[in-house]
């Protein structure tokens, strides 16, 4: 099998922990049983962090091994690569080693630069002045903003971007909400019956709220409405049971667990009203998913069934997407599940949801890599596609994809076409049922994929649409290959 492990260089994170706990290098080196000079080399990334010392650090500072992974650095690096591919920086190209150095050794400054760029981008995309020079740069680089849109009243990154970054920083796990949902699940009526029935009884007995259906909702694109005055939860007629349970759990969360849902939003640091509002919706959704798939029950079932998505779906009576999403949240300290990434996309490659508990990352703008199996899913609705994919950092992932959503009701019905991808490092393949039948030793089974063309460093990809950041098109050669152009490093002194 292709080599999938890599050395962990965690110097800045070790130094951060040590300084946070007011511990000297000498004291920490003694606790680790290594010399002070060796620890100094580790903190300066001159030596990798050995496994035994990492476990000791976890015990000393009460952190998970995930803390020492470099997923955050990789996300920063991919963001920098993509940003530097913007025409705005066409005369300020940076060598890959400089970008790596910034992501590793100046994470706070890098994060602020990324935030500043995304704030600028959000404002320019929404400005009605299409003659603005910055808008011209933006449109030349990627996409145009909405014509006639109002200028945002609040500065900062776009709300979806800001909330997505915050959720990613939390590893898509919110302990207080998760434990509250687990407690609710355990305290529901122990009587025999389905979870749907228990949730209905809870809503009726505790809050005197009736659940009714409406034929008009689905026609108008409405899934549900909560009428507080008449104490009714109105659902679209024909809503699948998994969706019905999810909506009821959302309402219960709003009514009985508002403090637990609000606490992480209050501590999030999200700067705008819209971002905080979106975060509240996200926390409500998180609570509902955690009620339907309570943490420890679900984690154990996933392990026993080797993460067979269809079996988990039937076992808990939920949707395929709900199972995939929940697997990406199992990061409770001391009881972690397999670290998965989860992405939901539409047929045009627009990313609707994205969470990652792994090193994996993708470009924020410009869509997904066309070599991903998710795009094959749209050609075979409902069929599961398994793929071994290799990222640009040489990590190999086992991922599965499938379309989700409802089928059309009539010839004239055009439901939204979406698909999800769930993946993890191939190191976890023995615990995943989808590794069965794959020749893990044959490198020809591994498909090279990237984070998106601008942030991808592969220069020999036949599917490349635009040059990567820091590269320019070379049209001076008389030779042509399958790729219609060659690339060369972009000169920093171009005018």
CATH fold of the domain at 315-458: Beta-Lactamase (3.30.450)
**What distance in Å separates the CA atoms of residue 229 and residue 236, rounded to the nearest whole number?**
19
Q: What is the CA radius of gyration of the chain?
A: 24
pLDDT band per the 50, 70, 90 thresholds, residue 5: very low
CATH architecture of the domain 11-69 equals Orthogonal Bundle (1.10)
pLDDT value at position 338? 92
pLDDT value at position 153? 47
DSSP tag of 421? E
pLDDT value at position 276? 94
CA distances from 24 to 17, 116, 436 (A): 11, 35, 49
CATH fold of the domain at 172-292: Arc Repressor Mutant, subunit A (1.10.10)
Most confidently modeled of 84-93, 205-214, 249-258? 249-258
**What distance in Å separates the CA atoms of residue 267 and residue 176, rounded to the nearest whole number?**
13
Q: Is the pTM of this model over 0.75?
A: no
Q: Is the model's pLDDT at 215 over the cut of 60?
A: yes
> Quick one: CA torsion of 35, 32, 28, 47, rounded to 10 degrees?
60
**What distance in Å separates the CA atoms of residue 206 and residue 486, rounded to the nearest whole number?**
67
The overall average pLDDT reported for the chain is 81
The per-residue pLDDT for range 381-415, each reduced to its tens digit, is: 889 999 999 887 778 889 999 999 877 777 887 88
The per-residue pLDDT for range 246-304, each reduced to its tens digit, is: 999 999 999 999 999 999 999 998 988 999 999 999 999 999 999 999 999 999 999 99
The per-residue pLDDT for range 445-455, each reduced to its tens digit, is: 889 988 777 77
**What distance in Å separates the CA atoms of residue 229 and residue 430, rounded to the nearest whole number?**
53
- Provide the β-strand partners of residue 472: 488
Of 16-30, 231-245, 426-440, 477-491, minimum mean pLDDT range: 477-491
Average pLDDT over residues 454-458: 76
How many alpha carbons fall within 13 Å on the CB side of residue 402? 17
Q: Copy the structure tokens of residue 189.
A: 């009526």
Most confidently modeled of 53-67, 110-124, 271-285, 363-377? 271-285
Most confidently modeled of 57-71, 240-254, 453-467, 474-488? 240-254
**E-strand stretches of 272-406:** 341-346, 351-356, 385-390, 396-404
Domain ranges of the chain: 11-69, 172-292, 315-458
Average pLDDT over residues 351-378: 78
**What distance in Å separates the CA atoms of residue 203 and residue 195, rounded to the nearest whole number?**
12
Q: Is the model's pLDDT at 324 over the cut of 90?
A: yes
Coil, helix or strand at residue 214 = strand
Q: Which residue has the higher pLDDT, 495 or 186?
A: 186
pLDDT band per the 50, 70, 90 thresholds, residue 238: confident
Q: Which residue has the higher pLDDT, 466 or 60?
A: 60
Q: Is the model's pLDDT at 483 over the cut of 90?
A: no
**Same fold? 172-292, 315-458:** no
């Amino acid at each position: 099998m292709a080599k999938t492990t890599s050395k962990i260089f965690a110097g800045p994170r070790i130094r951060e922990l040590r300084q946070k706990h007011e511990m000297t290098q000498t004291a920490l080196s003694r606790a680790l049983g290594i010399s002070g000079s060796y620890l100094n080399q580790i903190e300066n990334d001159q030596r990798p962090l050995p496994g035994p010392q990492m476990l000791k650090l976890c015990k000393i500072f009460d952190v998970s091994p995930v803390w020492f992974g470099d997923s955050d650095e990789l996300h920063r690096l991919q963001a920098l690569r993509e940003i530097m591919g913007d025409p705005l920086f066409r005369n300020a190209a940076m060598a890959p080693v400089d970008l790596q150095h910034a992501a590793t050794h100046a994470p706070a400054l890098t994060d602020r630069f990324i935030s500043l760029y995304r704030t600028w981008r959000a404002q320019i995309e929404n400005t009605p002045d299409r003659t603005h020079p910055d808008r011209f740069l933006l449109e030349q680089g990627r996409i145009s903003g909405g014509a006639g849109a109002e200028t945002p009243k609040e500065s900062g990154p776009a709300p979806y971007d800001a909330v997505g970054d915050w959720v990613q920083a939390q590893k898509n796990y919110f302990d207080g909400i998760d434990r509250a949902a687990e407690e609710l699940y355990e305290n529901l009526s122990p009587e025999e019956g389905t979870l749907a029935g228990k949730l209905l009884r809870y809503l009726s007995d505790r809050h005197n709220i009736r659940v009714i259906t409406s034929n008009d909702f689905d026609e108008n694109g409405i899934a549900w409405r909560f009428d507080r005055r008449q104490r009714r939860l109105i659902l679209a007629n024909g809503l699948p049971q998994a969706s019905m349970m999810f909506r009821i759990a959302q309402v219960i969360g709003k009514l009985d667990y508002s403090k637990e849902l609000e606490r992480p939003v209050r501590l999030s640091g999200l700067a705008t009203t819209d971002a905080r509002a979106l975060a509240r919706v996200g926390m409500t959704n998180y609570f509902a998913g955690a009620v339907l798939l309570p943490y420890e029950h679900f984690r154990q079932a996933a392990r026993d069934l080797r993460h067979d998505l269809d079996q988990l779906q039937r076992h808990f009576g939920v949707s395929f997407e709900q199972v995939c999403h929940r697997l990406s949240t199992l990061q409770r300290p001391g009881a972690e599940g397999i670290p998965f990434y989860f992405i939901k996309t539409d047929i045009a490659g627009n990313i609707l949801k994205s969470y990652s508990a792994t090193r994996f990352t993708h470009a924020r703008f410009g869509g997904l890599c066309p070599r991903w199996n998710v795009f094959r899913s749209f050609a075979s609705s409902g069929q599961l596609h398994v793929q071994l994919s290799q990222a640009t950092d040489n990590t190999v992932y086992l991922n599965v994809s499938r379309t989700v959503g409802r089928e059309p009701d009539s010839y004239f019905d055009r439901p939204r076409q979406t698909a999800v991808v769930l993946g993890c490092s191939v190191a976890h393949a023995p615990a995943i049922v989808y590794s069965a039948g794959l020749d893990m030793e044959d490198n020809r089974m591994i498909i090279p994929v990237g984070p998106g063309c601008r942030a991808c460093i592969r220069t020999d990809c036949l599917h490349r649409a635009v040059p990567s950041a820091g590269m320019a098109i070379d049209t001076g050669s008389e030779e042509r290959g399958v790729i219609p152009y060659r690339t060369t490093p972009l000169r920093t002194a171009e005018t």
